[in-house]
Amino acid sequence: MSKICILGNSHLGALAQSEAGAKAFEAAGHDVVYWGAAGTLFPKITYKDGRLISPAPSRSRIISGGRYGHLDLDDFDTLLVYGGSVPLSNAAARIAARMTTLAPLSGAFRTAALNEQIALWWQDRPAGALMQAMIDAHPEKRYIFTPDPLMARNDAYLARISDPVLLRQVLDAMYMHCQTWCDTRGIGFYRQNEHTLAEGRLTTHPSFSTNSVKMEKGEAHPDEDFVHMNGSYGDVVMADLLTLVQSPEQAVRAAG
């Protein structure tokens, strides 16, 4: 039986809600452990001497069903970084707003500026440094990464978007940057499943966000929470991730 750790932040709650996903992984011979830290704690996870050190081990232990305060990487064959404080929606909106000011300038400059903005954004993502530390120390293991899901459709977010086409271009470029980063390190990359997106492909369909629950306590998120997804979303992702995990080689493109 292979051992898989799905580590991440509060978005793990959607996956943990997926009973179908859990059964499918088990049936396929995979022992899945969830582990991580929510919110601002995730960026404080560090790697040291073969372990991921949690800034709040007691809470990380709850997430892992009582198994791990800190995470011993040697216990796992596959490490799947899910979310990892890589929220695309707000960053894409911010970058797109900046890019609109460059509209009169040449396409080559705009492209270079966009790529630079995305590179700077990614440089600040803690997930990148964490994955790099793990892969440097344990290159024999299998790694898969996926950013946070896009924000669920809501009026407040859409009101910030003056150019939906540009926002979509920015999002695509961000996904491409993440995928290229992963490809060069032999890390599998999972891009959000198109079937979970709302019309316009800028946000997640709201049906995947209602009744989402918190990772640690199982309590419902407030109704106005458009960031976290529910068990239905978890079903889609778990099915995709199983496909990816079962693939004979590292996936080189998104399963979604």
Partner 1 sequence: MSHPYRDLPPAAFWRTAVSDINPLETTDLWTPRHDLKPDDQVVTFGSCFAQHISRALRRHGFSWLDCEPGADFVSEALRSRFNYGVFSARTGNIYSAKALLQWVQWSLGQATPPDEAWERKGRYYDPFRPAIEPDGFASAAEMLASRQQTLDAFARCIRESDVFVFTLGLTESWENIAGGYTYATCPGTNAGTFDPDSHVFRNYTCAEVQDHLEQALTLIRAENPKVRILLTVSPVPLTATAAGKHVVVSTTYSKSVLRAVAGAVSDAWDHVDYFPSYEIITAPSFRGMFYDPNMRTVAGRGVDFVMSHFMAGVSGTAPGTAPDVTEGAAKPAAPPPDRAPAGALDEPDDIKCEEQILEAFARH
Instruction: Provide the binding-site residues for partner 1, judged by CB under 8 A.
Output: 98, 101-102, 104-109, 112-113, 116-117
- At 70, list the tokens: 């800190």
Give me the least distance between CB of 129 and partner 1, in Å please: 21
Tally of CB atoms within 10 A around 161 = 18
Give me the least distance between CB of 89 and partner 1, in Å please: 20
Q: For partner 1, which is the closer residue by CB, 119 or 252? A: 119
DSSP the chain: -EEEEEEESTTHHHHHT-HHHHHHHHHTTEEEEEEE--GGGGGG-EEETTEEEPSSHHHHHHHTTTS-SSEEGGG-SEEEEE-TT--HHHHHHHHHHHHHTTTTS-HHHHHHHHHHHHHHHHHT-HHHHHHHHHHHH-TTSEEEEE-PPPPBP-HHHHHT-S-HHHHHHHHHHHHHHHHHHHHTTT-EE-PPPGGGBPTTSSSB-GGGTTT-B-TTT-PBPPTT--SS--HHHHHHHHHHHHHHHHSSS---S---
The angle, 0 to 180 degrees and rounded to 10, between the axes of the packed helices 88-100 and 107-123 is 150
Give me the least distance between CB of 109 and partner 1, in Å please: 5
Torsions phi, psi of 47, nearest 5?
-105, 135
Give me the least distance between CB of 103 and partner 1, in Å please: 11
Give me the least distance between CB of 203 and partner 1, in Å please: 25
Q: For partner 1, which is the closer residue by CB, 40 or 90? A: 90
Q: For partner 1, which is the closer residue by CB, 119 or 165? A: 119
Q: For partner 1, which is the closer residue by CB, 28 or 105? A: 105
Give me the least distance between CB of 105 and partner 1, in Å please: 7
Give me the least distance between CB of 88 and partner 1, in Å please: 19
Q: By the 8 A CB rule, do 150 and 88 touch?
A: yes
